[in-house]
Amino acid sequence: MLSKIRFFLKKEVDADLFSLFYSLFNLIYNIPLFIFAAKNLDFHSYGGYASFIGLFLAQISFVYIFLTVFSFIPSLLKIISSILFLSNSVALYFVCEYNAVLDKTMMGNVFNTNTGEAGELIGYKFFIYIFFLGIIPSLSVLALNIKKTSVIRKIYLLISIVLAISVFAYLNSKTWLWFDKNSKKIGGLTMPFSYIGNTMRYFSEKAALNKVPVKLPDASFENKDKTTVILVIGESARSSNFSLYGYPRITNAYLKNDSVVALPNARSLSTYTTESVAFMLSHLGSQKTKIFYEPLPSYLQRQGINVFWFSNNWGEPKLDVSYYKKASKLREECGAACGNQNYDSLMIRGLKEELNKNQSSDNFMVFHLTGSHGPLYSSKYPAEFEVFKPACKSVDLQKCSSQELINAYDNTILYTDYFLHEVISFLRSIKKMSSVMIYISDHGESLGEYGFYLHGAPYSMAPDFQKNIPFIVWMSDEFKKRRKISDSDFKEIKNLSQDNIFHSVMGAFLMKSPVYEKSKDIFAKR
């Protein structure tokens, strides 16, 4: 028996064949992932089977592609594979024994745990995992004689795999929503990418937090009149489903009577939240730079303006403001009166409390909505806003018709319409206050058109549904009077995007600074 093992280990093993074998063996470390999928997929529909098979094939393919990068140097491939066997065995122990999900937060806990605390988590099973799933496979790999293979063949195999994955994903695009809904759990259970990727994310964000932003030049104010500017950042709202933009359904029953201006032809410059929000808050907009400048809220705070940031979402850059509060915290403070709801309207409570105390000051308030974030659109609004029925209540699109999905999405627009109306109504109730509300979405959303769902497609190939966004402005009579501006002045404005936000907010406060660009200020006289 031992002689057979020695004979096998002495044989030359093709690097590509080894990568395939490792990818298959690696499935053992992903058993918790497949158990999770089996428990949460509906196998009474085709979508359930397609999602499970897709998860299985993706796991094998991505690990194979990952190892191929190192297979050009066989000795390096052996070392990397051995390290992964060891680290996978440790990760699997904690996932199985403590039901851990190796996301960014968990990896942060790992790197902030002292040796005493770590020792309490290690039992005898730890050594069983390490020995059988870590040490033995690692030593076996190190003993192998792996040989190089043709570069041309590698390229051919990689192209074939990528094409196969792409075709499978496209043909089963309706299963994407299940992956999106469960992305955090899937990402935290996928070995070895869970701990590799989230470790990188943890240290990247830690470095960003320690990065000191470059301060922008100080600004001056044209007069001492006090103004309140409210910026509402929408989520996944596309202009094509707003009746203000010509949608045949009445999705803006409130706003149509609120004297708002729906600015036409606004486009998002990104298809995902973090980048879109960064564009809004930067004086450079979508212009790329390696320098981290202070974002708009921090800049305004430093110029003496009260800044309040309310969030029912995430993705904003590091902010230096006096007031930052999550909707979950507002719900906690609200207590029994708010129940367990986590809807955007919770933030209206914060608006009223803070603005009542600061009416005689310059105020900049930001509300970052959860808005129309999918895939479970029906969870983003209270039951009384389910006007369009039947509404899709599942992330498995096989269970929903296209119309049911649109119904659920349109209900989220109804609720956003209500939220904006509540903001406007409260501002209008404060007489003689100069105030303005700007609403813009971070990006749009696909609802199955051309086989796309949700958002986040590469910008060059993303359909217009993910790019065309609402850009809505409301101005108080006092603001119009002081600025000598009217709704009709906006008719000539074209080519709007997130690039206009920074300079328009500065313009609303009548601020002047070297970073201010009048051409991007929607309130500037033309």
Range 191-212 average pLDDT: 80
372 closest CA partner among 471, 176, 236 = 236
What is the distance between the alpha carbons of residues 213 and 154, in angstroms, rounded to a whole number? Answer: 44
Residue 283 pLDDT exceeds 60: yes
Range 16-33 average pLDDT: 92
Between the CA of residue 400 and those of 178, 376, 388, 391, what are the distances in Å? 13, 12, 14, 8
245 three-class SS = helix
Tell me the pLDDT band of 117, cut-offs 50, 70 and 90. Answer: very low
Residue 295 pLDDT exceeds 90: yes
Residue 393 pLDDT exceeds 80: yes
Contacts of 294 (CB under 8 A, 6+ apart): 213, 214, 215, 216, 302, 320
Confidence at residue 172, expressed as pLDDT on a 0 to 100 scale: 74
Range 206-220 average pLDDT: 83
Range 465-491 average pLDDT: 92
**10-44 b/e with 16+ CB inside 10 Å = b?**
eeebebbebbbebbebbeebbebbeebbeeebbee
Residue 9 pLDDT exceeds 60: no
Residue 120 pLDDT exceeds 80: no
User: Average model confidence (pLDDT) for the chain?
Assistant: 87
Most confident of 187-196, 375-384, 508-517: 508-517
Confidence at residue 389, expressed as pLDDT on a 0 to 100 scale: 94
Confidence at residue 480, expressed as pLDDT on a 0 to 100 scale: 93
61 closest CA partner among 136, 164, 180 = 164
Domains of the chain, CATH where assigned: 2-209 (no CATH), 222-452+464-520 (3.40.720.10)
Confidence at residue 348, expressed as pLDDT on a 0 to 100 scale: 87
Predicted TM-score of the model (pTM) = 0.75
Confidence at residue 490, expressed as pLDDT on a 0 to 100 scale: 86
Range 212-233 average pLDDT: 92
Report which of residues 184 and 294 the model is more confident about: 294
